[in-house]
Amino acid sequence: MAGMLEQLSDRGPDSCGVAFYRDPLPPGSCKLSVHSPSPVDWEGLSVELERTFGSASAPEVRASHAIFTIGAEAEEVERWLSERHPELRLMSAGRSIEIYKAAGSPRAFVRNFALAELGGSHALGHTRMATESRVSTEGSHPFSTGLDLCLVHNGSLSNHNRLRRVLAREGIRFQTDNDTEVAAGYLTWRLRQGASLEQALGSCLEDLDGFYTFAVGTADGFAVLRDPIACKPAVMAETEDWVAIASEYRAIAVLPGADEARQWEPQPGRVYSWSIQRAEV
């Protein structure tokens, strides 16, 4: 992942973010990725969490982010954090997801967050060049609007403002004005209705207007969808050891065994999904 992001540093020099799925926790526990735009006493926050919930890990600090493991359900901890510490930003919550992101160069991001030290079963990353809006840490990809769910997006949606109002009435909470966060919220809403990830992505083809390539991460794996016109670039490759997607092949070329991988361009309007246990194409 670090090598792929560095390959695309000139394509997206303004911000970078990653979601790693690793070290899954047992039921009844949660993992929170928290960002502070200014210096903060992470150890003090850990003591507060321990006092409130009875079990909390020491913070794992990476640059402006910290990961906390708490012996409580994620929704309960999220409510407490928003009430007691509104100055902090919750990047992700779940049992295995960890999100880190920041404005600036992907090369600096890889170094500052010691990205090469991380491992896990799968990961999603994103770089961005500012074209339509101000870049900030909060506005960078990936976006997470549900437990262990995240989305990265190449493209633009035209009906996100209307859809945001609909989803807000359904209880989906948003932290930014970014259209990608609305798409993530839409998927969370459909999953809460009982849809599978493949079904939720399929319904995007009816309800989301615009052009997009989505890569969606869950605790079980990840999925990819391009809109029916598919004007945004995408290439995929797969070996017996890994599967990867990128906007340009040069990001995939740095992976071990890339020259022998099966390579293809994902078809418009078709859902591709992989899980830790199985693969479907």
Phi then psi for residue 130, to 5 deg, are -65, 125
pLDDT of amino acid 128: 85
- Closest by alpha carbon to 224, among 267, 276, 178, 160? 267
Ordered by start, the domain boundaries in the chain are 2-17+129-280
pLDDT mean across residues, the chain: 93
Quick check: 57 and 29 in contact, CB under 8 A? no
Is residue 130 predicted with pLDDT exceeding 80? no
What is the mean predicted confidence (pLDDT) over 209-224? Answer: 95
Q: What's the whole-number mean pLDDT along residues 45-57?
A: 96
Mean pLDDT of 40-47: 97
Say how far apart CA 135 and CA 87 lie, in whole Å.
Answer: 19
What integer is the mean pLDDT of 97-103? Answer: 96
- Average pLDDT on 186-194 reads 95
With cut-offs at 50, 70 and 90, classify the pLDDT of residue 139.
Answer: confident
pLDDT over 90 for what percent of the chain? Answer: 87
27-42 average pLDDT score: 95
Is the model's pTM score more than 0.85? Answer: yes
- Of 177 and 33, the one with more pLDDT: 33
Residue 170 is predicted with a pLDDT of 94
Distance CA 150, CA 58 (A): 25
The pLDDT score that the predictor gives to residue 278 is 52
Region class of 93: left (phi > 0), else alpha (psi between -120 and 50), else beta: beta
Residue 24 has pLDDT above 50, yes or no: yes
pLDDT band at 132 (very low <50, low <70, confident <90, very high): low
Mean pLDDT of 214-237: 95
pLDDT of residue 12: 83
Question: How is domain 2-17+129-280 classified at the architecture level of CATH?
Answer: 4-Layer Sandwich (3.60)
Residue 59, helix vs strand vs coil:
coil
User: CA–CA distance from 146 to each of 96, 173, 186, 191, 248 (Å)?
Assistant: 12, 10, 10, 9, 29
Burial class (CB in 10 A: 0-12, 13-18, 19+), 142: buried
Q: Would the pLDDT of 184 be above 70? A: yes
Mean pLDDT of the 226-232 span = 94
